[in-house]
Chain A
Amino acid sequence: MSGGCGRNPPPFPDNEDQEAELDTRVLDSDEDDDDEGEDIFTGARSKPITPTSAPDEGDIFSEEGSYIRSDVHHATNGLHSDEELDLFTEATVELTLTNTTSQGRREIIGPTASACNTTHVPNSILKPSIVTKTMEELEEEESGDQFELNIAVTNPEKIGDGMNAYMSYKVSTQTTLPMFLNKTFSVRRRFSDFLGLYEKISAKHSLLGCIIPPPPQKSVVGMTKVKVGKEDSSSAEFVEKRRAALERYLQRVVAHPSLLQDPDVREFLERDELPRAVNTQALSGPGLLKMINRASDAVNKMTIKMNESDNWFESKLQEVENEEQLLRRLHAAVDSLVNHRKELCLNTAVLRKSVAMLGSVEENSALSRALSQLAEVEDKMEQLHQQQAFSDFFILAELLADYVRLLGAVRCCFEQRMKVWQRLQEAQSTLQKKREAEAKLLWANKPEKLQQAKDDINEWESKVSQYERDFERVTCTVRKEVLRFEKEKARDFKQHIVKYLESLLHTQHRLVKCWEAFLPEAKAIA
């Protein structure tokens, strides 16, 4: 569940100047580096531009479509406050294209699964093959009407000194989506910005029953080391871990069709300076967990049990809870693997030194040479083990950690539905009380209060029907979300498993090479 069309973007042309000049919307851009952008646009334009009608309430996309339409009118100022005139002219264009965006998005969900057979490797691993992937990208884009959105989080930089220091990350976006001002752009963000984004998204969408991807966890220990300026491998590792986690987080956010349409998300990606997000304490790792657990506690304490028309929700929730537990166990096992492999790496290094020493003392020259060669082999193996541990962690362990937290978010989603239902229940009982009150008044014959009672009843009747609709909608949304989530999860796991196996394959291949190189040396001993 990560990455809209989660490929690593090709190395961006220097976008620094593009950030400054937001006036050139790359609609019919001459300096367009990828041609398919233009094709898509012309293609899009030629499509009949009918606003997607929303007959069925359960269609998320139409919902979001309408949401955005209104949004465009009001919120453009918020997006890029410094550019007024140009934006307005463009706003009209954007309006018509928004619908195709919705349509386009739908298309993405379908073919995406097959198109994205690519890797979600942290930038540091995959750099060499990025170019070839781009070619693939191009080919696939010619075949289908797809909108691309690639996000990368790179270049962590330490800003400031001492305890007030923080890491700033470059968030680069490459997209053909029309709702963005440019095709490629980047901004700098800090960790609290990401948490702030989560807060905003969560406030808006969780009530609708969407599964909100949880942000990476805060880590006091990790950050303190970085702030203090400890330039060692563990703090470098921490920064890399965080960078990768932030990238995955954003990729998951934009993979979600409704979230992508959210102006806050767009603002996050595009806007130069974001106001500092405050009160992110609650969103730190343990804080978030507490929130989730509180929600489930509240549900458990509900006295009136939900009358489920079908078992789907109950059994699904059970499934999710079980899977979360099992994933935790798997994650622990993979964690152990990472640690042991790191240990193996260390021990190999130590052995290497020892063998080298032995070789230097050995009086038989051929054997001495062979022993030094053996030490070389051990050295190469140490590097291989190191790289494999890296893959173990970033491809497998982090995936599992992410999904444990995602399953928690899924649970939250179910709980939201319960809350909505509870609200409906309460409204219904309030309505009942009001009706009883009216009846009492009628019986007691107090006409002056009767009108009030009737008004009350009307008010609550409409509330009840509103809440009923809400509940229907949420139920639909949750169901859709869960199905989408499961599809994404299967796809994600498959991708990562394949990538992991490929990393193992690569390691074994290199091992063969190492040993084959050594064999003649061993045979040369005389």
Chain B
Amino acid sequence: MTSISEDSDKEKVRSVSVDLNNDASLVIDIPDALCERDKVKFTIHIKTTLSSFQKSEFSVPRQHEDFIWLHDTIVETEEYAGLIIPPAPPKPDFEGPREKMHKLGEGESSMTKEEYAKMKQELEAEYLAVFKKTVQVHEVFLQRLSSHPMFRKDRNFQIFLEYDQDLTVRRKNAKEMFGGFFKNMVKSADEVLISGVKEVDEFFEQEKIFLLDYSSKIKDATAKAEKMTRSHKNVADDYNHISGAMNSIAADNNTAFKKHLEKCAEVFEKLRKLEDRVASDQELKLTELLRYYTRDIQAAKDLLYRRARALADYENSNKTLDKARLKGKDIAQAEENQKQCLRKFDKLSESGKKELTSFKARRVVAFRKNLIEMTELEIKHAKNSMSLLQGSIEILNSN
């Protein structure tokens, strides 16, 4: 069981998106998370001035599955068809640290005390990194909802925030209702879009082209960034082994040779920590950014799908109306249907346009923020490395 509080990390606002907590009427953050075997329990902290809530400040524990339930209900809500639904946070993945913990447990007897302590430290660092990531992504999800004029009023969102008991019961019912429907929609949506429904609006035509292209590129970039940060971590690991091996040699010796090696081992140990930070900062700022926007782009694409669907429906309704007129039967019904379809389509188009425009702005700002932060961190780490190395070289030379 591991519990992480976020006070160790000075950068409180870690969201990949814009600072979503600037509206004081509803402020949400996740200060704490508990990992119990397979389940992660997030502590959601809410501060609000809205009258719709019973209390003005309170906390509530939620599981990852609760977030998924919330996301799904919102997706299924017809009303929100014209909005970009914030992507669901991915399941927390503790596989890496868990494997390491196993190895640690198994190898405990064969390791020296120092080695064990070191590995344990590494393990804890890795856990912390995974935690940071998953908390960040869950937090952003809620913040997106809370900062959106329509989502924040959602009944289920309120339930999620306020319901002081386990949501599991409510969740079950919801799942039965919505499960299949959603999946079907996604499958056929692709075809609808790709089959090239005749687009009437230039804006949406452009958006479609852009989003499709961007989507594949950003997915690719995410995968490559992941690979790169993994290599970085491997290098940091190697520094660790080198440091250990050097210390072994130095232990056996008692000459000037030993002093040199000891110093060098120390340097490698410190470099490892720095290299690790470089890797995890890169991951947090760049890879996570790309990951998040891959999902967000998908959500934007979903909006286009829904709109294209509505367009298809509208065109079908026209055909039905024509048929009805020909046959002379059910005309009123067909007319009503057609009007509805048109209304729906227009509504989707209107809100869709707004959403997509704000999405662009949001994306640019997020990229800017993260790229700046990443660059500043990289510079900081490199400068730290430099001073470490300079100091060590001086010491070695003066010996």
* B237 contacts across to A, CB distance below 8 A: 340
Q: Are A351 and B225 in contact (CB under 8 A)?
A: yes
* A319 contacts across to B, CB distance below 8 A: 252
* B230 contacts across to A, CB distance below 8 A: 347
Q: Are A515 and B210 in contact (CB under 8 A)?
A: no
The CA of A333 and the CA of B234, in the complex, are separated in Å by 12
B249 at the interface (CB under 8 A from A): yes
Q: Given A363-B360, A364-B360, A508-B385, does the pair A493, B260 have CB atoms closer than 8 Å? A: yes
Interface residue ranges of A318-344 to B (CB < 8 Å): 319, 322-323, 326-327, 329-330, 333-334, 336-337, 340-341, 343-344
Q: Given A340-B238, A501-B396, A526-B364, does the pair A494, B260 have CB atoms closer than 8 Å? A: yes
Interface residue ranges of A478-526 to B (CB < 8 Å): 486, 489-490, 493-494, 497-498, 501-502, 504-505, 508-509, 511-512, 515-516, 518-519, 522-523, 525-526
Q: Are A515 and B382 in contact (CB under 8 A)?
A: yes
A355 at the interface (CB under 8 A from B): yes
* A508 contacts across to B, CB distance below 8 A: 382-383, 385-386, 389
User: Of all chain A residues, which has the CB nearest B384?
Assistant: A508
Q: Are A489 and B257 in contact (CB under 8 A)?
A: yes
* A493 contacts across to B, CB distance below 8 A: 257, 260-261
Specify which of B213, B246, B360 is in contact with A330 (CB 8 Å cutoff): B246
The CA of A395 and the CA of B368, in the complex, are separated in Å by 40
Q: Given A333-B242, A525-B368, does the pair A509, B255 have CB atoms closer than 8 Å? A: no
Q: Are B367 and A329 in contact (CB under 8 A)?
A: no
Q: Are A363 and B367 in contact (CB under 8 A)?
A: no
Q: Given A490-B260, A515-B379, A519-B375, does the pair A361, B210 have CB atoms closer than 8 Å? A: yes
A370 at the interface (CB under 8 A from B): yes
The CA of A432 and the CA of B224, in the complex, are separated in Å by 79
B218 at the interface (CB under 8 A from A): yes
Interface residue ranges of A405-421 to B (CB < 8 Å): none
* B386 contacts across to A, CB distance below 8 A: 505, 508-509, 512
Q: Are A355 and B221 in contact (CB under 8 A)?
A: yes
B121 at the interface (CB under 8 A from A): no
Bitwise interface map of A from 341 to 359 toward B, beta carbon under 8 Å scored 1, else 0:
1011001101101110110
The CA of A208 and the CA of B25, in the complex, are separated in Å by 90
**Chain B interface, >50% SS class:** helix
Q: Are B245 and A522 in contact (CB under 8 A)?
A: no
Specify which of B220, B256, B260 is in contact with A357 (CB 8 Å cutoff): B220
A362 at the interface (CB under 8 A from B): yes
* A195 contacts across to B, CB distance below 8 A: none
B217 at the interface (CB under 8 A from A): yes
Q: Are A354 and B220 in contact (CB under 8 A)?
A: yes
Q: Are A361 and B213 in contact (CB under 8 A)?
A: yes
B231 at the interface (CB under 8 A from A): yes
The CA of A333 and the CA of B241, in the complex, are separated in Å by 6
B271 at the interface (CB under 8 A from A): yes
Q: Are A343 and B360 in contact (CB under 8 A)?
A: no
Q: Given A333-B242, A494-B396, does the pair A367, B249 have CB atoms closer than 8 Å? A: no
* B376 contacts across to A, CB distance below 8 A: 519
Q: Are B249 and A330 in contact (CB under 8 A)?
A: yes
User: Of all chain A residues, which has the CB nearest B223?
Assistant: A354
Q: Are B255 and A486 in contact (CB under 8 A)?
A: yes
User: Chain A: how many interface residues by the 8 Å CB criterion?
Assistant: 56
User: Of all chain B residues, which has the CB nearest A341?
Assistant: B235
B399 at the interface (CB under 8 A from A): yes
User: Of all chain A residues, which has the CB nearest B293?
Assistant: A358
Bitwise interface map of B from 224 to 251 toward A, beta carbon under 8 Å scored 1, else 0:
1101101110110111011011101100
* A374 contacts across to B, CB distance below 8 A: 371
User: Of all chain B residues, which has the CB nearest A519?
Assistant: B375
Least CB distance from A401 to B in Å reads: 14
Q: Are B393 and A333 in contact (CB under 8 A)?
A: no
Q: Given A319-B252, A497-B264, does the pair A363, B210 have CB atoms closer than 8 Å? A: yes
Specify which of B224, B241, B267, B360 is in contact with A501 (CB 8 Å cutoff): B267
Q: Are B252 and A326 in contact (CB under 8 A)?
A: yes
The CA of A117 and the CA of B389, in the complex, are separated in Å by 18
Least CB distance from B38 to A in Å reads: 31
Q: Are B231 and A343 in contact (CB under 8 A)?
A: yes
The CA of A154 and the CA of B239, in the complex, are separated in Å by 32
Q: Are B393 and A502 in contact (CB under 8 A)?
A: yes
Bitwise interface map of B from 251 to 288 toward A, beta carbon under 8 Å scored 1, else 0:
01101110011011001000100000000000000000
Least CB distance from B167 to A in Å reads: 38
* B163 contacts across to A, CB distance below 8 A: none
Which of A334, A337, A354, A502 neighbours the largest number of chain B CB atoms within 10 Å of its CB?
A354
Q: Are B221 and A501 in contact (CB under 8 A)?
A: no
Q: Are A337 and B238 in contact (CB under 8 A)?
A: yes
User: Of all chain B residues, which has the CB nearest A371?
Assistant: B367
* A357 contacts across to B, CB distance below 8 A: 217, 220-221
Could you tell me which B residues sit within 8 Å of A by CB distance?
210, 213-214, 217-218, 220-221, 224-225, 227-228, 230-232, 234-235, 237-239, 241-242, 244-246, 248-249, 252-253, 255-257, 260-261, 263-264, 267, 271, 360, 363-364, 367-368, 371-372, 375-376, 378-379, 382-383, 385-386, 389-390, 392-393, 396-397, 399
A-B contact pairs, 16 of them (CB 8 A): A117-B397, A319-B252, A330-B246, A336-B241, A347-B231, A355-B224, A363-B210, A489-B257, A490-B257, A497-B264, A498-B397, A501-B267, A504-B385, A515-B378, A522-B368, A522-B372
Could you tell me which A residues sit within 8 Å of B by CB distance?
117, 319, 322-323, 326-327, 329-330, 333-334, 336-337, 340-341, 343-344, 347-348, 350-351, 353-355, 357-358, 361-364, 366-367, 370, 374, 486, 489-490, 493-494, 497-498, 501-502, 504-505, 508-509, 511-512, 515-516, 518-519, 522-523, 525-526
Beyond A364-B360, A515-B375, A523-B372: 9 further Cβ-contacts under 8 Å? Answer: A330-B245, A333-B241, A347-B224, A350-B227, A357-B217, A358-B214, A486-B257, A509-B386, A519-B376
Q: In the A-B complex, list the 7 residue pairs whose CB atoms are closest, starting with the nearest.
A: A344-B231, A337-B238, A330-B245, A525-B368, A522-B371, A333-B241, A340-B234
